[in-house]
């Protein structure tokens, strides 16, 4: 699994990419050529000086000024040696300003303008991490669009499967379970060699369990979920989610037993004890290890005791 954890996402995103050593000391900055200098006294006569000044602005947290300066450089000379690093640092400035959408768009533009860049994989990683940041915040729909863009650009790229699984996770987070199931299925079908496949196989029945809770009393979804967990365990007998799958199956059995018991109670309330017994018997026969089986036995004994059934 290429992306094992999102705990280091911010660290990965906010790494140091400036090419000069710059230390914030009020308006004093450090660079290799001049040592400590005042920011406002840096010259801007050449592209090299303008570029260094823009980097100093980023260090001084003047992100908008830095973006404007770097954008002007790219526009004035798109083929210069400074254009590529300038655009890279435009995205970086947006990122530090917490403007994730413009950071992503700029990284996307970078990939369009410099398809053979040595930074290509690094940029894709940053785009993926931006999607994670949006997903973990309140911009889940924006995260979906980011992950979709990664796949659209290169459906066979090294982070395409990671993006696909996160699209499914986003839909599950939004409680759009049909779309989540569909996208987990896309992962299994299109990226069958991905380490994410067992996780997707587990998440499909999980979505059905969660959807059943939302709909309330959709026993069909519980049965489908049960079948899904069985399939997961059959395909991954030593998988890391097997124990959780077993626990979920136990929960499903308990929930299904409760549903049958409630049907029996429904008929009993309508003074139809014989019909109630039919469902109590179903609970006892099909779900013997649940608490509802014991309750069903007690109910039958009670009805027999008062002569309502034989």
Say what the pLDDT of residue 23 is: 38
Say what the pLDDT of residue 41 is: 55
- What is the Rg, in whole angstroms, of the alpha carbon atoms belonging to the chain? 30
Say what the pLDDT of residue 218 is: 77
Helical H segments across the chain, by residue range? 9-13, 47-59, 63-76, 83-96, 100-113, 120-136, 140-153, 160-173, 177-190, 197-215, 219-235, 242-269, 273-286, 291-305
Q: Are strands 28-31 and 35-38 parallel, antiparallel or unpaired?
A: antiparallel
Domain count, the chain: 1
Q: Is 50 helix (H, G, I), strand (E, B) or coil?
A: helix
Domain for residue 33, yes or no?
A: yes
- Phi then psi for residue 36, to 5 deg, are -80, 125
Say what the pLDDT of residue 21 is: 36
CATH number at residue 118: 1.25.40.10
Low-confidence stretches of the chain (pLDDT beneath 50): 1-26, 31, 33-34
Domain with 112 in it: 1-137
Domain for residue 198, yes or no?
A: no
Domain for residue 238, yes or no?
A: no
In whole angstroms, give the CA distance from residue 183 to residue 191: 11
Domain for residue 83, yes or no?
A: yes
Domain for residue 255, yes or no?
A: no
Domain for residue 287, yes or no?
A: no
């Amino acid at each position: 699994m290429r992306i094992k954890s999102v705990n280091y996402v911010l660290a990965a995103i906010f790494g140091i990419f400036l090419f000069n050593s710059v230390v914030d000391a009020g308006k004093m900055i450090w660079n290799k050529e001049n040592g400590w200098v005042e920011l406002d006294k840096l010259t801007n006569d050449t592209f090299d000086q303008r570029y260094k000044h823009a980097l100093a602005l980023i260090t001084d947290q003047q992100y908008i000024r830095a973006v404007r300066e770097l954008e002007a450089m790219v526009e004035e000379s798109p083929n210069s040696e400074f254009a590529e690093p300038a655009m890279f640092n435009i995205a970086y400035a947006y990122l530090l300003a917490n403007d994730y959408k413009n950071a992503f768009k700029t990284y996307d533009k970078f990939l369009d303008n410099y398809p053979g860049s040595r930074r290509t994989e690094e940029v894709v990683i940053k785009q993926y991490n931006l999607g994670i940041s949006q997903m973990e915040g309140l911009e889940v729909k924006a995260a979906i669009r980011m992950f979709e863009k990664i796949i659209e650009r290169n459906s066979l790229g090294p982070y395409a499967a990671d993006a696909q699984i996160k699209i499914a996770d986003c839909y599950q987070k939004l409680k759009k379970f049909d779309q989540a199931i569909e996208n987990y299925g896309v992962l299994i079908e299109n990226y069958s060699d991905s380490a994410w496949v067992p996780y997707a196989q587990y998440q499909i029945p999980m979505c059905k369990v969660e959807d059943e809770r939302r709909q309330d009393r959709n026993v069909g979804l519980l049965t489908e979920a049960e079948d899904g967990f069985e399939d997961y365990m059959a395909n991954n007998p030593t998988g890391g989610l097997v124990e959780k799958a077993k626990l979920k199956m136990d929960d499903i059995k308990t929930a299904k037993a409760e549903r049958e018991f409630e049907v029996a109670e429904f008929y009993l309330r309508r003074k139809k004890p014989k019909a109630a017994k039919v469902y109590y018997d179903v609970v006892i026969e099909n779900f013997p290890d649940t608490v509802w089986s014991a309750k069903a036995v007690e109910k039958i004994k009670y009805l027999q005791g008062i002569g309502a059934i034989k």
